[in-house]
Structure 1
Amino acid sequence: MTDQPDSPRNQAGSQGSGVVVDLREYRSSKDPLPITFHRRELDAILWVYGRMVGEGEWRDYAIDHTKEKAVFSVFKRSGEMPLYRIEKNPKLAARQGAFSVVNTHGTILKRGHDLLQVLKIFDKSLKLIET
């Protein structure tokens, strides 16, 4: 075991010239950060989730963060396909909006720029019952 660092050496046996690398630039070129929900976005989603759990509609959730989008999946039972996926895709922000709600079959139920407006799809409308 030696005190020398584990780096390749040139033919002369001495180490190569020291190269300064900007760590932020290296990290961004190496592996971009995944897309995530911000705290306020997650708070709005969890508020709707809590309400629906209280009503007995939903039971489980999963959060996925990928390089392209963030997904909050809602399940009736944990072993099934998600009932809904709340997605954040920043690439679509300039077009239809970054936020969307997708059902089990992949149909986009609502899309928009404002998450609170998109989440209104889960609001139940009052119905008049005649007796």
Structure 2
Amino acid sequence: MTPQPPTPFPARSDPDDRVAFDRQELGSILTLYGRMVAAGEWRDYGMSFLRDVAVFSVFRRTAENPIYRIEKRPRLRARQGMYAVIGMDGQILKRGADLRQVLRVLERKLIRAVD
């Protein structure tokens, strides 16, 4: 029997390698989310933290596709801005460097005419 060297385990990705929302960004997103839940527009959310993007997905019902995605892509910081709000059909509704400015496109949905 010929001894073989052990096969190395695949390199594990470091959790610090992932893009994530910081506390202030998450606070802004969850404040908007809470107001939209109170208005009856949104019901559920999901978060994904990947190597190049962090995504906050908003759902009207749990078993559906997300109606909005709020993305953070640090690589686009110098170009178009690292924050984006993307609609259900994949259309970018707003992109920019300031998260609060980008989230304003969703706050407009709260404003309704009163009879």
Q: SS of 1:123's equivalent?
A: helix
After TM superposition, the structure 1 = structure 2 runs for residues 46-61 of structure 1, keeping only pairs within 5 Å, are 46-61=30-45
Instruction: Give the ranges of 4+ consecutive aligned residues of structure 1 lying more than 4 Å apart after TM superposition.
Output: 125-129
Unaligned runs of 5+ in 2: 6-10
Q: Which has the larger radius of gyration?
A: 1
Among candidates 85, 106, 115, match of residue 99 of structure 2: 115
Identity of aligned residues (%): 49
> In the comparison of the two structures, how many residue pairs are matched?
103
Distance 1:69 1:60 in 2: 20
Unaligned runs of 5+ in 1: 1-7, 9-28
TM-score between the two structures when normalised by the length of structure 1: 0.72
> 1:71 maps to what in 2?
55
Distance 1:117 1:123 in 2: 10
Distance 2:84 2:49 in 1: 15
Shift in Å, 1:69: 0.4
The answer to whether 1:96 aligns with 2:53 is no
Shift in Å, 1:30: 5.7
Distance 2:113 2:20 in 1: 41
- Which is bigger in relative contact order (C-alpha 8 A, separation at least 6)? 2
Shift in Å, 1:128: 6.4
Among candidates 25, 29, 32, match of residue 41 of structure 1: 25
